[in-house]
Each structure stands twice: as structure tokens, then as C-alpha cells.
Amino acid sequence: MNSTTFRTVNLPATPVQRVRQPADIFEALLQSIQGGESHARPTLELTPDSPFMPFLEIGYALRACMERPARHDYLLQRLRPHLSVMVGTLPASIQPMGMLPKLAPLPSFRQLEEISDDEIHHWLIQEGGLIYGEMQRFELENYFDAVKAYLAPGGIMVDLGSGLGKVVMTAALSFPFTRCIGVELMNYRHRLAQERLVRVLTLTRQGLEALSEPLKPETPLRLPTGITVNGRHLLELGARIVFIENDMFKVDLRGASLVFLYSTCFGPLMDALSNKLARELPEGAVVTTTTYSIRHPAFQLLESHPPGTLSWTSVMIYRRVGPPMSEPAAETRYLHQPDVEAWETRAREELGS
């Protein structure tokens, strides 16, 4: 598919009232996994065993400064050295609607003065990566149309930062991957993805029962992407989808054939991510990114779609080339340095409002 044939809007989705054919089941399943971008965001839990405790402590210290005008100068002074890793003007999670609980801080939590620049830097990187968004349905249809040219049937698809699981489940429905795996750091998003999977599998079972002719394992089946597989694709759907709650940097990617990264908020992570992908992925594996490119000799750019074509943002498709790599690429390639004065003006406006 070339850019002139990309879809630009979602087709109106009519709820599936009656299942007559497998295409109706696909439609009902795809409809059931839309809209995750507007899910209610719960605040993080303030419990001693939370893996987010260090994140909460630093977030509380920053928020305490944001809430007191007398501390604004100090807040800006501490944030200023880290603009290269900040998404937006002020961190979203310390805002009134952000991820931090409204509860009082724990007595052991430190003040901002006791928190190092290095800790703030890493906090900001993590904070940016936790921002949530999803591609729309038509964008994912464009995506799988573009990427399928580089994939052989079978293989393992991985979404690093899989959120509510839309891409993983769309992949499992759209292409004959042996397995589709989502890795998500935030517990509640992982849980929502699992709940959505249960709903998808329930709808699949109900849809299969409603068919006038039972779908047999060997019956030819046409996927929404136009690829023909057989009935096992739907009959064994549940066995092909896995959601893992973990940090993407702790998951081994050695067997993956397609890695999807909705990397629009991963700018400061791109160096570490591309080094990891170069170290672990087999030659020939395909990696796709949004907004940020991979600048690493182990990746050959296959396609680059500018904003407003495949998706609202740019989408790049790469192939892993060359022998296994153990050494990280030394230099840092992704830092950007926004205009400090313009940032400070915007930040003061936001703090004042």
C-alpha cells in the first residue's frame, strides 16, 4: 500500500447485531477493543509494596513545590537542566488531574532539596513514558497493511508498552502470528488489557456458536487484512495472545519477529531501546516506531511515513540487519534542547493559572 491509498478516517461502525459469517465476528471483536484512550485514569496506589514508590516520592516533592507560589522559582530551577527529557511544559502527573494520589505524603518521603538531579532526570523520563494514547482503528489498519509486506506467516509480535492491549489484539486478529505479546509497566493498564482479552474471547465464543455452519480448524478464513488462513486462527485465538506486566527493559526479545513501539512519548528512552533491540533481536526482525526514529547501524529503514499519511504522527519501519551486537552504540543521539526562556515563560504561565 502506498501513502495515496491510506485511510484517513474511521468508517462508521455499526454494532454487529447478528453474526452470519466470520467477518461479523472480526468486526464485533475489533469494535470491542476501541476507545481505550479515553479510559478513566486511576491515581497510583500509595502502598509500601508499590513498585512506583520511588516515583511517588519524587512526584510528591515536585508537586509540593508546584502548589506553593513561594517554591515556584526553586521548582523551575530544578526542572531547567532536564528539558531535553521533558514531555510538555510541566510534568502531567503532578497536575491536579495527574497520577499522584491526593493523600498526604508518607513521613519518610524526602523534600525536593534532598532529591538529586539524577533522580529528577530519571523520574522525568519515566513520567513521560507513562503518558497514554492509542492509534485509531483506521491508523492500525493502515499500519498492518504497510507492515505485512515484511512479515512471513507465524512469528512473534511484541508491543513494548502495550497499554490496554489494542495493538496486540488487533495484531492477533489481523495477521497469522504464532503469538502476540504485550508488555505493560502499569498494573491497572495490564489489568484492563486482560479484562478486554476476556471480553474478546467471550465474544469470539458467542460468535462462533452463532454461525450457521460451525467453523472447522481447516476451513479457509479471510482475515480483515485480506490474508487467508484457516479456522484455527479464531478457534485458537486465546492461545496466541499474552499480556505481561513488566518493565519493557526487563523482557527478553530474542524470539520476536515484529516489535511495535508507540514511541511518541519515548524520546528519552530511544537510545536505550535501540541498543536493547540491537542486542536481542534476530537478523530480519522488523521494528516499527512512531514519532522518533531509530538511529542505530543495526537497523535499516524500510519505510518512513510522514505525519498525516499512515497516522497522525510519523511511522517508521525498520529491519534488523547484521550480526548480533553486544556493545551499545556509545554516543547519545536523541537529546533535544528546547528553548529555555520560552519554556520558562510557558511554565510560569501554567503555574500562575
Ligand X SMILES: C[S@@+](CC[C@H](N)C(=O)[O-])C[C@H]1O[C@@H](n2cnc3c(N)ncnc32)[C@H](O)[C@@H]1O
Residue 158 pairs in a beta bridge with: 181, 259
Query: Which residue of 52, 55, 60, 262 would you call a contact of ligand X, by CB under 6 A?
Result: 262
Query: Which residue of 59, 91, 105, 161 would you call a contact of ligand X, by CB under 6 A?
Result: 161
Give the rounded distance of the alpha carbon of 249 from its chain centre: 14
Phi, psi angle pair for 164, to nearest 5°? -85, 5
Nearest-angstrom CA–CA distance, 39 and 106 = 28
Return the number of the residue (121 or 222) whose C-beta is nearest ligand X: 121
Q: Does the protein bind ligand X through residue 247 (CB under 6 A)?
A: yes
Length of the chain in terms of residues written: 353
Nine-digit cell at 60? 510528591
Return the number of the residue (189 or 296) whose C-beta is nearest ligand X: 189
Return the number of the residue (172 or 347) whose C-beta is nearest ligand X: 172
Spatial contact of 318 and 259, defined as CB atoms under 8 Å apart:
no
Query: Which residue of 63, 78, 166, 276 would you call a contact of ligand X, by CB under 6 A?
Result: 166
Spatial contact of 307 and 332, defined as CB atoms under 8 Å apart:
no
Return the number of the residue (163 or 207) whose C-beta is nearest ligand X: 163
Angle at which helix 72-79 crosses helix 117-129, to 10 degrees, equals: 80
- Long-range interactions of 66-74: CB distance < 8 A, separation 24+: 66/90, 66/94, 66/351, 69/351, 71/112, 72/348, 72/351, 74/112
Return the number of the residue (135 or 310) whose C-beta is nearest ligand X: 135
Q: Does the protein bind ligand X through residue 186 (CB under 6 A)?
A: yes
Min dist CB 87 to ligand X, Å, is 11
Count residues near ligand X (CB under 6 A). 22
Compute the CA torsion angle 128, 51, 200, 316 (nearest 10 deg). Answer: 30
Q: Does the protein bind ligand X through residue 159 (CB under 6 A)?
A: yes
Nearest-angstrom CA–CA distance, 305 and 136 = 16
Q: Does the protein bind ligand X through residue 183 (CB under 6 A)?
A: yes
Q: Does the protein bind ligand X through residue 185 (CB under 6 A)?
A: yes
Going by their DSSP bridges, the two strands 156-160 and 258-261 should be labelled as parallel
Binding mask 54-93 for ligand X (x = CB under 6 A): ----------------------------------------
Q: Does the protein bind ligand X through residue 127 (CB under 6 A)?
A: no
Segment contacting ligand X by CB under 6 A, of 9-17, 155-163, 197-205, 307-315 = 155-163
Query: Which residue of 130, 197, 215, 286 would you call a contact of ligand X, by CB under 6 A?
Result: 130
Residue 108, amino acid: S
Return the number of the residue (157 or 265) whose C-beta is nearest ligand X: 265
Nearest by Cα to 89 from 73, 72, 76: 76
Nearest by Cα to 238 from 211, 204, 283, 270: 204
Q: Does the protein bind ligand X through residue 296 (CB under 6 A)?
A: no
Return the number of the residue (179 or 235) whose C-beta is nearest ligand X: 179
Nine-digit cell at 199? 471480553
What is the contact surface with ligand X in residues (CB under 6 A)? 129-130, 132-135, 159, 161-163, 166-167, 183-186, 189, 247-249, 262, 265
